[in-house]
Amino acid sequence: MKETKICVIGLGYVGLPLARLFSTKYKTVGFDMSQKRVDALMQGHDATLEVADDLLQDAIKNHGFVCTTDLEKIKDCNFYVVAVPTPVDENNNPDLTPLYGASTTVGKVIGKGDVVVYESTVYPGVTEDECIPVVEKVSGLKFNVDFFAGYSPERINPGDKLHTVEKIKKVTSGSTPEIGQYVNEVYASVITAGTHLAPTMKVAEAAKVIENSQRDINIAFVNELSKIFTLMGIDTTDVLEAAQTKWNFLPFKPGLVGGHCIGVDPYYLAQCAQRHGYNPEIILAGRRMNDGMGEYVANQTIKLMLKKGIQVLNSKIIILGFTFKENCPDVRNTKVYDIVKALNEYNLNISIYDPWANPTIAKHEYGVEVVNELPKEKFDAAILAVSHKEFAGLDVPSLMNENHVIFDVKSFLPCEIIDGRL
């Protein structure tokens, strides 16, 4: 087989770390539709903070890694990797628009004998039934005759500097047994944690979508436990710590479930099940539970304020954290916004402090004001929504009026200073 030259399409949280890694072994080009994103990367900085500047600059300087928006510069590649988002729409239906767009891009440049591998999270069958027909139509080539495909689901954990792409075992697959072996060999050459070659692309797609669905359901269970134990006057964290002394107890914690994986992927599996005539009761019940936690946190905070005799109308509340998870600038599908929406119904004055979030993006996407510097005023209530490392040493009581409420969503703050937590 000819020398492998890789193009990674989509340079976000998934695509960029993978492209940088591939560049250490193969001639690699990163392709993205955003010229602004490409320019920033070629200057040696990743705004998502997934790839350290020194690693990115080393890839560019010493390994010939190039990022581009120019189709002409990726036409001589022969191993295309698609790593674009797979969101849901306002009705929680899978939105395959980015995949269709990326498949169109591949169709314009793919040649005979080339391979396209999809990494985006989808329900079983999307690669073959939705993506490949687009590549065929645009390219004029025939699938599994002129070009081939693979599926290797991403397992990036944004903000996690321990489980980086090369340290996470990779599931691989191909459209033929031979292509499966080839795709597996390419990934195995850079993934130090090893690979698992699935028998078919549909198996690999299914494996990915159930990974996050399983986590979603487990978190929904402990969220429900939190609601029950709160009504009983029992601290949920204390209960979980006691239960974890058993060797096979799963250590999940209650909380907000947002982001572009756990809060989205179950809807892909649910729609797939419904298309096959099955109503997925547990999966959708878990989604309903987790999607309602932002409103629950807001209401619990208001109840605590009323119990302490704090005037709710026109009171001042500070929310600590707005990104979907700790130590990460990503605000996509953040459930902290659900807390804000619910609190707005009470006519409060809300301040949002997050040292990681980009205020411009937060304003554009959600219409909320986020600040990167701690406000000087005093507050009647505080909600710690995201456990950024900057909050570890924060003296939250010093931000508050004498009579106040502190609610800890993440069980992150010292027990003695909080009034409630999940």
**What would the pLDDT profile of 285-325 be if each residue is shown by its tens digit?**
999 999 999 999 999 999 999 999 999 999 999 999 999 99
Per-residue model confidence (pLDDT) at position 91: 85
Q: State which amino acid sits at residue 335.
A: K
| Predicted confidence band of residue 163 (pLDDT cuts 50, 70, 90) | confident
Centroid of chain to Cα 11: 14
Q: Which residues have C-beta within 8 Å of that of residue 209, sequence separation ≥ 6?
A: 121, 122, 123, 124, 265, 266, 268, 269, 272
What's the chain's Rg over C-alpha atoms?
23
What's the whole-model pTM score? 0.91
- Model confidence at 1: pLDDT above 60: no
Beta bridge partners of 29: 7, 66
**What would the pLDDT profile of 352-408 be if each residue is shown by its tens digit?**
999 999 999 999 999 999 999 999 999 999 999 999 999 998 999 999 999 999 999
**What would the pLDDT profile of 191-232 be if each residue is shown by its tens digit?**
999 999 999 999 999 999 999 899 999 999 999 999 999 999
| Predicted confidence band of residue 153 (pLDDT cuts 50, 70, 90) | very high
Q: Which residues have C-beta within 8 Å of that of residue 104, sequence separation ≥ 6?
A: 134, 138
* Residue pair 308/260 in contact by the 8 Å Cβ criterion: no
Is 272 a catalytic site residue?
Answer: no
Residue 275 per-residue DSSP state: H
**What would the pLDDT profile of 82-126 be if each residue is shown by its tens digit?**
999 998 888 888 899 999 999 999 999 999 999 999 999 999 999
> Which among 7, 67, 131, 261 is annotated as catalytic?
261
- Model confidence at 51: pLDDT above 80: yes
